[in-house]
Amino acid sequence: MDIVSEGLVTKVVVEEETTIIYVAFARSTPQTPFSMAVNWPLQARIIRDMVKVLEDKLGYFEIVDDMTLQRYYPIEEV
């Protein structure tokens, strides 16, 4: 499935050494606990696949939710 054609990638911003890819996960997920729990593994898989495809093609990049601005990648270690 093509996530761009499906509308999950809403914007790509290319700055000097950083690319930020905005995804519409929060906007596309109904706000019920069950829906969020069911969708989380799918979203995590989409992020893993995006990283696998893009990590060799881009330098530093981020994947961020377009509504909540939650960063999905890279994950900050605490």
- Does residue 39 lie within any of the structural domains? yes
What is the model's pLDDT at position 45? 95
pLDDT digits (tens, 9 = 90+) for 13-26: 999 899 999 999 98
CB-based contacts of 32, cutoff 8 Å, min separation 6: none
For residues 77 and 13, what is the distance between their CA atoms, to the nearest angstrom?
24
CB-based contacts of 9, cutoff 8 Å, min separation 6: 3, 21, 22, 23, 24
Q: In the chain, how many domains are there?
A: 1
Q: By residue range, what is the domain housing residue 66?
A: 9-73
What is the model's pLDDT at position 78? 63
Does residue 30 have a cis peptide bond before it, meaning omega lies within 30 degrees of 0? no
Give this prediction's pTM: 0.86
Beta strands 71-73 and 60-65 are antiparallel
- Does residue 48 lie within any of the structural domains? yes
- Does residue 3 lie within any of the structural domains? no
What is the model's pLDDT at position 36? 83
pLDDT digits (tens, 9 = 90+) for 23-69: 999 887 878 888 888 889 999 999 999 999 999 999 899 999 999 99
